[in-house]
Amino acid sequence: MPSPQTPAENLPTSVSHKMLAPHGETLDPQHVLSAWIQFYLAVRVQGGSEHTRRAKESDLQKFLRFFVDQLGTERVDFWTPSMSKAFLKWLHTAPRREVGAAERRKGEGDRPLAATSVNRILATLRHFGGWLHGQRPLPTGHPFEGVKNLAIDEPAWNGLTVREVTRLKIACEQRLALCTRADQNALLETAVFYCLLFTGLRESELAALNVGQYHHRGFHQVKRKGSKISGKVSVPAEAKAWLDRYLESREGELADQEPLFVTRYSNRIARKDIYRIARRICDQANATGDGIRLTPHMLRHTFLKRVANKHGVHVAQEISGNISMREIFRYTKPSQEEKDRLAVILF
């Protein structure tokens, strides 16, 4: 890691901006916010997942645009706690379209970001601000001094009921019978669905697996979130049966280094492909008007809740690949139906 007084030559030298000053002098990169953002992404974010890198870069670019819009300069010394608070207020009140957030549903661009999204962006900026202050102390101190996250209610459990799981399994079987075109692969969809449901892996963790990691009824040396590695993630019989059928359907002998799941073009399956698989299965399940909602992460919630109910939250934490108990409680908290049922039978 660079020393606290990082030399200017370590920063990008192509940056040249006018500071907000009477004489309009050119800033040295040591004083330019965008130069520090580029340096931070290179030394602290590079090497992680591409999804994480893009998200952090997007968060920091939002702040950079706001900073320049408010002050007309990129001079980093002007980043004070008041600027951080102003950014927080803007994130919480401005329409998504103005913030630059994706509009996932029609009309969503006119609404502000959810509090959870605001706090996630703040977490990125808070870490960057602390790192920057350690490398190049800011004259007014830590830029997030006294800046608090938005207070939010604990999120509701985001899993599936037994009935919903059954309906989705039926939908997988229906797609196996109906999807016969060359550009469809219902067997891949079913194998992905069952592997997510029965292992609790994140979609990115499943997509990153190779054929050689699947043996002895499990996935081995699985890279989890952060730097954690799970020696073995068990694959129960029901999921194993579908996965084996899918692998047998692939042409030729599979090499250990080949991706476990591939698209019809033989490329490694991506997170977006898994989201599309979930949507297709969900649409099939809702053909009868059931109104089921499904995302890949909901399958993780469902798996960990079942584990916690049967074996305790500590076992769920161990299996999940999560670090803290606080995080695992989000996955294993009782649903509203369970709370209502408990209230009835309590006395």
pLDDT of residue 155: 65
Residue 236 or 99, more confident: 236
CA angle 230–325–52, rounded 5-degree value: 60
Alpha carbons 333 and 232: distance in angstroms, whole number? 26
pLDDT of residue 281: 97
pLDDT band at 108 (very low <50, low <70, confident <90, very high): low
Q: Is 218 exposed, middle or buried (0-12, 13-18, 19+ CB in 10 A)?
A: middle
DSSP assignments along 291-303, one per residue:
-----HHHHHHHH
pLDDT of residue 185: 96
pLDDT of residue 19: 41
Q: What is the mean pLDDT of residues 99-120?
A: 75
Number of alpha carbons in the 13 Å side-chain half-sphere of residue 16? 3
Residue 105, pLDDT above cutoff 70: no
Tokens describing residue 117: 């999204």
Residue 103, pLDDT above cutoff 90: no
pLDDT in tens, 169-223: 999 999 999 999 989 999 999 999 999 999 999 999 999 999 999 999 999 999 9
Nearest to 115, CA basis, from 155, 83, 78, 76: 155
Residue 346, pLDDT above cutoff 60: yes
pLDDT in tens, 32-64: 999 999 999 999 887 777 888 899 999 999 999
pLDDT band at 285 (very low <50, low <70, confident <90, very high): very high
pLDDT of residue 24: 54
Residue 325, pLDDT above cutoff 90: no
Residue 343, pLDDT above cutoff 90: no
- Chain mean pLDDT for the chain: 87
pLDDT band at 4 (very low <50, low <70, confident <90, very high): very low
pLDDT in tens, 294-316: 999 999 999 999 998 898 888 88
Under a CB-based contact definition with an 8 Å cutoff, are residues 303 and 158 in contact?
A: no
